[in-house]
Structure 1
């Protein structure tokens, strides 16, 4: 796995993955997400991939899945994350709470490389809700 980051202007950087996908990051947050916001988005995306995949394998009728992520950072430099909470909102018909709970737990404990890596130094917590329809 590889990536390349190139300065564009100001505090803007173009990051390109080894697979050829690019994203603009901006330390000033004017024209792109900051690198720390990207960390939160990576954790949420990685976990969501797991949750959706597990729910689909258990034949749950999931119409939509989203995750709201809140990160708290240290007050001093380096302002690392101290706490990250992922709240999954699963939309669907007859979705079993026990299946969602299991999917979230498996993602957190076994499958999501990003969240598991972060949990070595960050207090990672998870919750979920199910929205019918």
Structure 2
């Protein structure tokens, strides 16, 4: 038996609807110039979003446990695709932007390292096919 099930159905054009086993759903589509209607994110974009969400949840959880007060937390993911098909991500950079007291910066760095080295399964999967880099920008 599978741990997770996502059912994805074709809904017309180039559009699909993925239904998750927890009741959520998303629309996946492509750009108009590729035959879609641009009604949802592209599959590879979702991969980058999953990476940001996974590491972000880890970091929030860890910072809360460390009692670190923070604000303005966001994550940018930047990626380069291979030139040949199938086009896959070859380089991925995760950029964390966060406001904390200078005394808590070491804790943020610890949380980022724990996420990428121990907790974030999506990051571990990306490590299998892409060169990963991470940056923290404090504001």
| C-alpha distance after superposition, 1:45-85 (max 9, x if no partner) | 00000111111111111123210110110011000000111
State the alpha-carbon separation in 1 of the partners of residues 109 and 101 from structure 2: 16
Question: What corresponds to 1:43 in structure 2?
Answer: 51
Q: Any conservation in 2 of the 1:12–1:27 contact (CA below 8 Å)?
A: yes
Q: Any conservation in 2 of the 1:52–1:65 contact (CA below 8 Å)?
A: no
State the alpha-carbon separation in 1 of the partners of residues 7 and 105 from structure 2: 41
State the alpha-carbon separation in 2 of the partners of residues 37 and 5 from structure 1: 17
Question: What corresponds to 1:52 in structure 2?
Answer: 60
2:78 corresponds to which of 56, 59, 70:
70
State the alpha-carbon separation in 2 of the partners of residues 95 and 66 from structure 1: 20
Question: What corresponds to 2:15 in structure 1?
Answer: 12
Q: Any conservation in 1 of the 2:30–2:39 contact (CA below 8 Å)?
A: no
Q: Any conservation in 1 of the 2:10–2:16 contact (CA below 8 Å)?
A: yes
State the secondary structure of the residue aligned to 1:96: helix
Which contiguous aligned blocks of 4+ residues in structure 1 show a shift greater than 3 angstroms? 92-95
Question: What corresponds to 1:127 in structure 2?
Answer: 135
State the alpha-carbon separation in 2 of the partners of residues 105 and 6 from structure 1: 37
Larger Rg: 2
| C-alpha distance after superposition, 1:21-58 (max 9, x if no partner) | 00111122711100000000000100000111111111
Structure 1: gaps (5+ residues): none
State the alpha-carbon separation in 2 of the partners of residues 93 and 128 from structure 1: 14
2:120 corresponds to which of 95, 105, 112:
112
Q: State the number of aligned residues.
A: 131
TM-score, length-normalised on structure 1? 0.92
